[in-house]
Structure 1
């Protein structure tokens, strides 16, 4: 008996020792995969650390007065709406968390985009690691390689480049990261432990302070516990109660901040969201088409762009193929959810995750400040990726392939490689406004804004070679014309086309385009200055004077505008008015010798010789090397009969 017991104990010990290494091995693999994904995510986007400020980075960081105050600006960032530090555009947004981080980073290293890019890349790498951990919790009955494949494809998805490479999109990263942490906290929460509920609520509050769209994660938590965990609705509501309470507190805070500022809500136009130009029925159809485009982008992220505004995505009808296709996908998705809700609830959850999290930005239920954006697919794409990867793994297993798992991993890896190549290329586009505008004029050729921005880029070329400069200006003109062909009410493109035409010495065209800009925006005094310059170059002094009369009222009117206005009046022999203009110009630009000379000449032409002499005398006393002023003052005083002055200054004329 003792031998048998000893043997039995020995065998049990051997069995135990056989189990423990496998558990340890599993933990080791998980840790290695966690670090592999996190490091790979960092390396993938590390090149963006050397990029500059791009697009809205200027508004939220580089030229944001609250951010530039560093730590001192934090109270203002918490108490004002999102854009307040740059401009009075109350869009109903309150996202202080990312802004506070920008202020702290600015305090550490002012006007240094590298520190902001580094933090973005680091946070993204952290997000991928946390996502992998969460997936292991969400999919406990599936192979570890399922979670790895999902995290891998999500990590390298090209659409996420905008989120990481554009510093402004820190709000997207933070909101999603805190959502993942909240989900993990919910899964780990111990029943009856208030500290766990508080921790979970605070994490979700951080998500909401990062971006308003975080509120759509609230039903997602409930869906998972109801569908995948088979919990009752009562249990789900009880578990979600701390999150519901904190969401209510956030909503009160959000509304107080937004409505405390006297700035009226911003009114978006069709150039911001092209659906505003659609009729009511067409608006809903186009919103459905936008949803379909988001679905397609997750699957095939091609022709990515920083902008899809008017009229890259035109108005659609319910008979349009994109709308019909989207409705068919919705029907198919519904059928898959119904079929898998009980047998494979994780697939159903992934599909619902996508549709719930994308709902607010499709423009179906309410119009937002943009037509479409790559960054808006960031979090929702996870849902489709979850369902797709699970489907691939299940498909291979259902075919009873001996290497089903290896085959599924191979498919996921190939997708990851293809996406990685695209992402690396897309990273390069986000280096600067120059690289981005140049790349995306090909990707969004029907966006008036994209054409306008590319035109501005070419118009303000840094080239030095005159022949190259001319070619750049011609490209600018072509781009502005394309913008106008897309949006005939684009005053900015008409304005710049007038300027470029002027530089190209196409004066009649400059007049025509500038006049169209004035017709669209008659209160812009700078346009009258431009129009006056063109008429002046055409020697049409009558119309030049008429335009420049309004043009010099522009706050940035230059000394040249005053000169041309005065010279136009001079050529029309309206000397008294010319004198008034030159005097005003001289008051604004007291050190400009040319405008002073113009004033002296006008006095002379008007027969006011004494004042002409005094004017040239002042010029000469300021610059005794100005021999021309000396001659003119002697001549003027001579005609005025002031021989004392003539005698005094004639001795200097040698």
Structure 2
């Protein structure tokens, strides 16, 4: 769960509560002041509250009998707070005009204009589905979890039809101040800022973005139920019984689902490995499932279990690369998984692929050190076994990642000397002395070469 969205929602509800209390009941300025203060706190929690610059006057229009000029005056403090918030935000972090070209951070960058808006319509339909039946849930909806759609898709057309009906309903009932029209506007206004229409939010959708719109949805359902009862189709006793029959099972099922879902959030590892079953089409979800398995591998003391975790992690990383072949987070962690299996060459190949994607990634400092040490150990082992050609290959690989390794140059010279490649041996020992002029063995090696004419 996201605490900032929850705090934002709570403060926005308090904003509306104290504003309406001021207008409809008390007429006391302190209630208006508390409302404005709550709005400030809402914006400091999350920028979602900016939509309330429009939703507050709409709420006053639908729920009160105030005249237009009074609504403008009552809304003015909130507008000033929003303007001040935007100004401070720009002052602190500036305006970022750089276009995000990475699809993991800009989900529609690879989509055509028609694909983008068709997919957005599908996302809007998915939001409504989650409000009605919130299952299955997942922490990740990033790239390819919701593949690009076009306007020939049946569900896209259904979503378009449904949202057009909502627009028509609002237009027809706006002057009537129908509370259902207000609910639709509250829902639309709450979802707009996180819809990717105005600006990129970094993901197609997220369940936490439904906290605020869910208030409008609940009020909408309650009002529909009230109107159903108001038609006189049921007496009070029948109404109470039917309400009980509907609500009790819904509450029990919801409580059970909430408890089960909370168990998934007990740790990152449980969350990642559970939700990847739902978000199997997501490159990020598959990568994080692999990362979770690497963590479990590192914690385990059972050699067989460690190997199984690493192998399973590789399966998730391969799946992620099928979705996005240049996802650097996958490539980096895939190399880590190979390192846990002591597959140094495979780790090197994957990390070099990652290096081609982003050569400046800071993780290469650690990974290059690992490669240098691993190749060095393999080189020494091959030398002990008198397999000098293999020793040379590994020591040269090691020095590629750690060119200041004095002992690496010295042992490489020794390997060349053993197969009578004296020129190469001389060069290696000279490099050894260049790095460490007091290296006695390298000096003795050069003396031995002098004795045979090198």
My pick for the range that moved more, 563-572 or 324-333, is: 563-572
What residue is the counterpart of 1:273 in the other structure? 106
What residue is the counterpart of 1:625 in the other structure? none
Matched, 1:492 2:342: no
Q: What are the within-5 Å matches in structure 2 for residues 124-135 of structure 1? A: none
Matched residues, number: 425
Partner residue of 1:418 out of 253, 263, 274:
253
Residues 44-93 of structure 1: CA deviation (Å, up to 9, x unaligned): xxxxxxxxxxxxxxxxxxxxxxxxxxxxxxxxxxxxxxxxxxxxxxxxxx
Residues 142-183 of structure 1: CA deviation (Å, up to 9, x unaligned): xxxxxxxxxxxxxxxxxxxx2xxxxxx322122111111111
Kept after mapping to 1: 8 A contact 2:21/2:27: no
Cα distance, 1:452–1:562 mapped onto 2, change above 3 Å = farther
CA distance in 2, matches of 1:194, 1:393: 33
What residue is the counterpart of 2:355 in the other structure? 518
Q: How big is the shift at 1:499?
A: 3.6
CA distance in 2, matches of 1:338, 1:541: 79
Aligned to 1:275, what secondary structure does the other structure show? coil
Matched, 1:357 2:194: no
What residue is the counterpart of 1:428 in the other structure? 263
Aligned to 1:390, what secondary structure does the other structure show? helix
CA distance in 1, matches of 2:112, 2:409: 47
Larger radius of gyration: 1
Q: How big is the shift at 1:221?
A: 1.9
* Consecutive unaligned residues in structure 2, runs of 5 or more: 383-389, 418-423
Q: What are the within-5 Å matches in structure 2 for residues 216-295 of structure 1? A: 216-259=51-94, 267=100, 269-295=102-128
Cα distance, 1:474–1:447 mapped onto 2, change above 3 Å = same
Q: What are the within-5 Å matches in structure 2 for residues 21-60 of structure 1? A: none
CA distance in 1, matches of 2:198, 2:416: 61
Matched, 1:571 2:406: no
Matched, 1:320 2:178: no
Residues 357-377 of structure 1: CA deviation (Å, up to 9, x unaligned): 100111123211332211111
The RMSD of aligned alpha carbons is 3.5
Q: What are the within-5 Å matches in structure 2 for residues 129-208 of structure 1? A: 162=1, 169-189=2-22, 193-208=28-43
Cα distance, 1:311–1:572 mapped onto 2, change above 3 Å = farther
Matched, 1:465 2:302: yes
Q: How big is the shift at 1:198?
A: 3.0
Q: How big is the shift at 1:600?
A: 5.6
What residue is the counterpart of 1:157 in the other structure? none
CA distance in 2, matches of 1:390, 1:585: 81
Matched, 1:446 2:281: yes
Cα distance, 1:404–1:335 mapped onto 2, change above 3 Å = farther
My pick for the range that moved more, 565-574 or 413-422, is: 565-574
Q: How big is the shift at 1:193?
A: 4.9
TM-score of the superposed pair, with normalisation by structure 1: 0.58
* Consecutive unaligned residues in structure 1, runs of 5 or more: 1-161, 163-168, 588-595, 610-638, 640-654
TM-score of the superposed pair, with normalisation by structure 2: 0.81
What residue is the counterpart of 1:616 in the other structure? none
Q: What are the within-5 Å matches in structure 2 for residues 600-615 of structure 1? A: 601-607=441-447
Partner residue of 2:228 out of 363, 386, 395:
395
Q: How big is the shift at 1:218?
A: 2.4
CA distance in 2, matches of 1:563, 1:423: 59
Q: How big is the shift at 1:203?
A: 2.1
Q: What are the within-5 Å matches in structure 2 for residues 496-575 of structure 1? A: 496-506=333-343, 509-523=346-360, 525-526=364-365, 537=378, 540=390, 544=394, 547-552=397-402, 567-568=411-412, 570-573=414-417, 574-575=424-425
Cα distance, 1:491–1:250 mapped onto 2, change above 3 Å = closer
Residues 420-463 of structure 1: CA deviation (Å, up to 9, x unaligned): 21111111111121221121121211111111112122123211
CA distance in 2, matches of 1:432, 1:376: 22
CA distance in 1, matches of 2:350, 2:52: 49
Kept after mapping to 1: 8 A contact 2:42/2:49: yes
Kept after mapping to 2: 8 A contact 1:541/1:571: yes
Residues 282-339 of structure 1: CA deviation (Å, up to 9, x unaligned): 2222222222221211112112222211221222222223322221220232344356
Cα distance, 1:397–1:478 mapped onto 2, change above 3 Å = same
Kept after mapping to 2: 8 A contact 1:303/1:444: no
Aligned to 1:517, what secondary structure does the other structure show? helix
CA distance in 2, matches of 1:508, 1:550: 14
Kept after mapping to 2: 8 A contact 1:396/1:405: no
Q: How big is the shift at 1:533?
A: 6.2
Kept after mapping to 2: 8 A contact 1:198/1:242: no
